[in-house]
């Protein structure tokens, strides 16, 4: 199989993913009363990101062949799509949901910066423990559960900094610190895999190769289990850092746009 054939013939059109993504998008449009605004575009981008992560050739490669593909999938599901979802929830919709007591209690507990930080980063680290990681490759139900936890805890992680309700947001300076520390966790994990000297995940050592991809991956692309693992670490480290730097830049811009309270006070006194 050639690289072009891989990109064009190995899409896996799971009905559950297609129907699930459509229902989530339609539910969002219904909740926002079909308002076409920036938040809607962000939310739609999140749905498209999840869709591509789960039906494109990336899913086949991550399930059966490449740690690096799995890391790319994790970046999309744990970092990119959740950020888009948080940015895609309008403030009025959030306020309306918070009128329901269970939602308000959940937001108060899970939306606390410390709880959100530990849940998001703890989930990311936990699923990369070899025993759990290998279990996801060997059991589809565990794998689905892993993806769901990435989406949920990733959304929780971004929530304190990027939700659209001002009174629920952290101050920009605290958000910068929060995001910097989260980016460090992701970076350290990526560096750990980049510097690894042995492969940690048994299913990638001798794939069954039902799709006859090993000649392409091992031969033409030169991705043996070790340098594939190192490449995956590099993707996590570099791409993750870029995502967090972009998020921090947004926070700095928000901070810059805040009114100068000292100047306002002086004007009001005068």
Q: What tokens does 226 get?
A: 């070790």
CB 88, CB 36: distance < 8 Å = no
pLDDT for the residue 260: 61
Which of 6-10, 140-144, 259-263 is most confident?
140-144
Tens digits of residue pLDDT in 163-214: 999 899 998 889 999 999 999 999 999 999 999 999 999 999 988 888 889 9
Q: Which residues of 17-52 are buried (b: 16+ CB within 10 A; e: fewer)?
A: beeebeebbeebeeebeeeeeebbebbbbbbebbbb
Residue 34 has pLDDT above 90, yes or no: no
CB 14, CB 55: distance < 8 Å = yes
Q: Report the first-to-last Cα separation within the chain, whole angstroms.
A: 76
pLDDT for the residue 53: 96
pLDDT for the residue 5: 86
Mean predicted lDDT score pLDDT of the chain? 90
Q: Ramachandran region of residue 34, left (φ > 0), alpha (ψ -120 to 50) or beta?
A: left
Instruction: Using DSSP, state whether 84 is helix, strand or coil.
Output: helix
Mention every residue, 6+ apart, whose C-beta is less than 8 A from residue 239: 72, 75
- What is the largest distance, in Å, between two alpha-carbon atoms of the chain? 78
Burial of 261 (0-12, 13-18, 19+ CB in 10 A): exposed
Domain ranges of the chain: 3-257
Q: How confident is the model at residue 270 (pLDDT cuts 50, 70, 90)?
A: very low
- Of residues 84 and 258, the one with the higher pLDDT is 84
Tell me the C-alpha to C-alpha distance, in Å, between residue 151 and each of 45, 60, 85, 148, 158: 14, 19, 9, 5, 11
Tell me the C-alpha to C-alpha distance, in Å, between residue 64 and each of 2, 70, 225, 226: 17, 9, 12, 15
* Alpha-carbon span 6 to 98, nearest angstrom: 46
């Amino acid at each position: 199989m050639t690289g072009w054939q891989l990109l064009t013939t190995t899409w896996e059109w799971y009905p559950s993913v297609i129907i699930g993504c459509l229902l989530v998008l339609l539910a969002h449009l219904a909740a926002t009363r079909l308002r076409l605004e920036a938040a809607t575009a962000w939310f739609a981008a999140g749905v498209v990101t999840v869709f591509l992560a789960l039906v494109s050739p990336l899913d086949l490669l991550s399930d059966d062949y490449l740690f690096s593909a799995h890391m790319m999938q994790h970046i999309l599901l744990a970092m990119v799509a959740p950020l888009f979802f948080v940015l895609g929830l309008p403030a009025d919709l959030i306020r309306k949901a918070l009128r329901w007591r269970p939602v308000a209690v959940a937001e108060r507990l899970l939306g606390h910066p410390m709880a959100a930080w530990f849940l998001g980063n703890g989930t990311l680290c936990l699923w990369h423990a070899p025993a759990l990681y290998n279990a996801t490759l060997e059991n589809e139900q565990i794998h689905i559960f892993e993806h769901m936890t990435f989406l949920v805890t990733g959304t929780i992680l971004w929530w304190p900094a990027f939700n659209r309700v001002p009174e629920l947001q952290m101050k920009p300076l605290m958000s910068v610190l929060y995001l910097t520390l989260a980016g460090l966790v992701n970076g350290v994990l990526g560096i750990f895999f980049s510097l690894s000297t042995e492969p940690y995940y048994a299913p990638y050592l001798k794939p069954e190769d039902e799709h006859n991809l090993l000649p392409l991956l091992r031969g033409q692309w030169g991705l043996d289990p070790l340098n594939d693992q190192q490449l995956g670490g590099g993707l996590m480290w570099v791409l993750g850092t870029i995502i967090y730097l972009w998020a921090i830049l947004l926070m700095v811009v928000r901070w810059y746009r805040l009114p100068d309270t000292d100047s306002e006070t002086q004007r009001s006194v005068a």
